[in-house]
Structure 1
Amino acid sequence: MLYFVNLRSLILAAYIGSGLFYLPIQILPKNFSDLESSATQIQSQNCADCNHVCTIKELKSLAKSITVKIISENGWGSGIILKQEGKVYTVITNQHVLDTDYKSYIIQTPDGLFYQANEIENEDFQGNDLALLEFRSTHSTYTVASLENSTTLSPGDKTFAAGFPTLEKPQDTELLFTRGRVSILSDRPLEKGYQIGYTNIVKKGMSGGPLLNIYGQVVGINGMHAYPLWGDPYVYRDGSQPTVTLRQQMSHLAFAIPIETVAKLAPKFASISTIEFHQTVSSKKVFNYLLFDGFSELLNWKFYLHILPTSSCKSTV
Structure 2
Amino acid sequence: MLFNTCNRYLVPIFLVATTVLLVPQVMAARQEARAILAREVGAIAKKTVVRIESSDGSFGSGVIIGRTESGTQNVYTVLTAGHVVKCSECQYQIVTPVPIDTASEKKRVKIDLDMRNNFQKMPDVDLATISFESTSTFAIGTIGNSEYADEGSPVYVAGFPKPGQAIKRIALQFTGGMISSRIEEGDRDPKARNNGYDIAYTNITRAGMSGGPVFDAAGRIIAIHGQGDRNSQNAEAGNKDTVPTLIDDEKTGFNLGIPMQTFLKLQPQATEVVGAKIDDSPLNYQLSDRTMTIGTPNRKFIQKVRTRGQSSQIFDVTKVSEQTPD
Pair in the same fold by TM > 0.5: yes
Q: Shift in Å at residue 135 of structure 1?
A: 0.8
Partner of 2:51: 69
Partner of 1:154: 150
CA distance in 1, matches of 2:111, 2:290: 41
CA distance in 2, matches of 1:263, 1:107: 24
CA distance in 2, matches of 1:61, 1:118: 29
- The answer to whether the aligner puts 1:198 opposite 2:195 as a matched pair is no
CA distance in 1, matches of 2:55, 2:279: 38
| Counterpart code for 1:80 | V
Q: Does the Cα contact within 8 Å between 2:41 and 2:219 map onto a contact in 1?
A: yes
SS at match of 2:89: coil
- Pairing partner for 1:96 from 66, 83, 93: 83
CA distance in 1, matches of 2:210, 2:163: 14
Partner of 1:310: none
| Counterpart code for 2:149 | L
Change (3 A) 1:51 1:227: closer
| Counterpart code for 2:153 | D
Larger radius of gyration: 2
Q: Shift in Å at residue 101 of structure 1?
A: 4.2
User: For this pair of structures, how many residues does the alignment match?
Assistant: 225
Q: Does the Cα contact within 8 Å between 1:63 and 1:162 map onto a contact in 2?
A: yes
Q: Shift in Å at residue 286 of structure 1?
A: 7.2
Give CA-to-partner distance per residue, 1:215-273, whole Å, 9 cap, x none.
0000000000131779x99xxxxxxxxxxxxxxxx954100000121111123345645
- The answer to whether the aligner puts 1:178 opposite 2:179 as a matched pair is no
Q: Does the Cα contact within 8 Å between 1:67 and 1:110 map onto a contact in 2?
A: yes
Q: Shift in Å at residue 174 of structure 1?
A: 1.4
| Counterpart code for 2:75 | V
- The answer to whether the aligner puts 1:115 opposite 2:116 as a matched pair is no
CA distance in 2, matches of 1:55, 1:194: 27
Q: Does the Cα contact within 8 Å between 1:263 and 1:271 map onto a contact in 2?
A: no
Change (3 A) 1:164 1:128: same
Q: Does the Cα contact within 8 Å between 1:71 and 1:105 map onto a contact in 2?
A: yes
- The answer to whether the aligner puts 1:145 opposite 2:141 as a matched pair is yes
Structure 1 stretches of 5 or more lacking a match? Answer: 1-21, 23-43, 234-249, 293-314
Higher strand share: 2
Change (3 A) 1:128 1:228: farther
Q: Shift in Å at residue 290 of structure 1?
A: 9.1
- Pairing partner for 1:132 from 129, 133, 140: 129
Structure 2 stretches of 5 or more lacking a match? Answer: 1-21, 23-28, 99-107, 237-250, 292-322
Q: Does the Cα contact within 8 Å between 1:81 and 1:92 map onto a contact in 2?
A: yes
Q: Does the Cα contact within 8 Å between 2:142 and 2:279 map onto a contact in 1?
A: no
- Give the TM-score of the pair, scaled to structure 2: 0.59
- Give the TM-score of the pair, scaled to structure 1: 0.61
Q: Does the Cα contact within 8 Å between 2:180 and 2:202 map onto a contact in 1?
A: yes
Give CA-to-partner distance per residue, 1:273-309, whole Å, 9 cap, x none.
5657xxxx9xxx57517969xxxxxxxxxxxxxxxxx
Give CA-to-partner distance per residue, 1:15-37, whole Å, 9 cap, x none.
xxxxxxx9xxxxxxxxxxxxxxx
SS at match of 2:194: coil
CA distance in 1, matches of 2:228, 2:257: 9
- Pairing partner for 1:57 from 39, 42, 49: 39
Partner of 2:254: 253
- The answer to whether the aligner puts 1:84 opposite 2:80 as a matched pair is no
Q: Does the Cα contact within 8 Å between 2:94 and 2:113 map onto a contact in 1?
A: yes
CA distance in 2, matches of 1:254, 1:161: 10
CA RMSD of aligned residues (A): 3.9
Q: Does the Cα contact within 8 Å between 1:201 and 1:225 map onto a contact in 2?
A: no
| Counterpart code for 2:62 | G
CA distance in 2, matches of 1:252, 1:175: 20
Structure with bigger RCO (C-alpha 8 Å, 6+ apart) = 1
Partner of 2:239: none
Partner of 2:311: none
Change (3 A) 1:159 1:130: same
